[in-house]
Amino acid sequence: MANKPIDPNVLKALSPMDGLKKDNLRALAKKTVIKEAAGGSFLFKRGDDTKVSVYVISGEVELRDGDDVLTVISGGSKEARSPVAPVIPRMVSARARGPVQYLAVDTDLVDVMLTWDQTGSYEVSELRTSMMAESSDWMTTLLQTKAFHRIPAANIQAIFMRMEQVNYRAGDQVIKQGDEGDYFYVLTDGSAVVNRETPLNKEGIRLAELGSGDTFGEEALISEAKRNATVTMLTDGSLMRLKKEDFQTLMNEPMLQWVSFERAGEVIARGGKWLDVRLPSEFDNFHQEDAINIPLYFVRLKLNSLEPDTPYVVCCDTGRRSSAAAYVLSERGFETYVLEGGLNQLAGGEMALADE
């Protein structure tokens, strides 16, 4: 079982993966393996800043501050459903008491997937039916790319909604080296080849072959330069494209008010409230004192339960989901702030652990 892809149901039992839709859960399972640690070895040490969420599947892991054992987490327990010591950088070390099986899941990838799942479901009717019917594979692949992680969370849904589908035949040129950049492309069906012409090779050097979910064309849009390669379809296929103007607008951060934990405390002191938009399972693990929990996917549905004259400090674990929620609230006239860095960036002493 060790070092092999896992059953998506294993992830479904863990927080916050229990909030992922089936397509993203399956995609995440393909990228996740169960690892083994021998007794006495460390899963991570104090100060580690690697953005992975660690889950104990079997065995016992002790959280240590120097030589002191603070607590022990056993596989299969209620505590094991949540990531071990999620604060980054780590405030403690995690050491296996005996043989341990555990998961190390890409935190950013899970967060991007959760944000899309919970914002993309608000107004599905606004998306073209044909696009949604055939979109799951390429959308899931696109969400996993590191480049997509840099897109502001509040803009994820808008990007998909503004894309238009274009069909090509085998042999068609999608973009040509030397042309002006006009679109950002995502290949959704079929395959294509990337070639670059050089002074010594007019026919072009083959740089790469593209498949479903692969993107191209962004370099010319970002740098305002001409296309540096030619992309030609190898098979019949389809692409989604985003206009240059939309690409440049949606790659930029919406107008949001980001605040430090200290500044957030000042907002709370003058009558503001914490609004935690994580899943209930995450909220139950730890949260700010007196925080309200409305998961991101419920924010639009619960607007009437919020007080229009109350400022809200919106928070999640990283800041990605909370920025999406704050954008929705700001559009509707609420005074909102986003906790910069999220709850996982706070020192352990600044978080109120749930007593439940």
Q: Do 88 and 49 form a contact (C-beta atoms < 8 A)?
A: yes
Give the pLDDT score at 63: 97
Identity of residue 21: K
pLDDT digits over 190-208, tens only?
999 999 887 777 777 888 8
pLDDT digits over 20-64, tens only?
888 888 888 888 889 999 999 999 999 998 989 999 999 999 999
Give the pLDDT score at 55: 97
Smallest CA-to-CA distance from 336 within 277, 254, 267 is with 267
Q: Where are the domains of the chain?
A: 8-106, 120-151+153-250, 258-350
Residue numbers annotated as active site: 316
Phi, psi values for residue 209, rounded to 5°: -115, 135
Rounded to whole angstroms, the Cα distance separating 78 from 14 reads: 10
Smallest CA-to-CA distance from 277 within 302, 314, 308 is with 314
**Average pLDDT of the chain to the nearest whole number:** 84
Higher pLDDT, 279 or 160: 279
Q: Do 83 and 55 form a contact (C-beta atoms < 8 A)?
A: yes
Give the pLDDT score at 146: 58
Whether this prediction's pTM lies above 0.85 is answered by: no
DSSP readout, 26-86? HHHHHT-BEEEE-TT-EEE-TT----EEEEEEESEEEEEETTEEEEEEETTSSGGGS-SS-
Give the pLDDT score at 1: 41
Q: How confident is the model at residue 132 (pLDDT cuts 50, 70, 90)?
A: very low
Topology of 258-350 in CATH? Answer: Oxidized Rhodanese; domain 1 (3.40.250)
Higher pLDDT, 296 or 156: 296
Alpha helices in the chain (DSSP H): 8-12, 22-30, 107-119, 129-133, 136-143, 146-149, 156-162, 218-223, 244-250, 261-269, 280-285, 320-331
pLDDT digits over 295-338, tens only?
988 888 888 999 999 999 999 988 888 988 888 888 788 999 99
Q: Is the pLDDT of residue 215 over 90?
A: no
Rounded to whole angstroms, the Cα distance separating 312 from 329 reads: 9
Give the pLDDT score at 3: 56
Smallest CA-to-CA distance from 324 within 52, 114, 147 is with 114
Give the pLDDT score at 87: 85
Give the pLDDT score at 107: 87
Q: Is the pLDDT of residue 339 over 50?
A: yes
Does CATH place domain 8-106 in 2.60.120.10?
A: yes
Q: Do 127 and 163 form a contact (C-beta atoms < 8 A)?
A: no
Q: Is the pLDDT of residue 348 over 50?
A: no
Half-sphere exposure of 72 (CA within 13 A, CB side): 9
pLDDT digits over 221-247, tens only?
766 778 888 999 999 999 989 898 888
Rounded to whole angstroms, the Cα distance separating 281 from 166 reads: 41
| Radius of gyration in angstroms for the set of CA atoms belonging to the chain, rounded to a whole number | 23
Judge whether 120-151+153-250 and 258-350 match in fold.
Answer: no
Give the pLDDT score at 134: 47
CATH-assigned architecture of domain 120-151+153-250:
Sandwich (2.60)
Percent of the chain with pLDDT over 70: 85
Give the pLDDT score at 69: 95
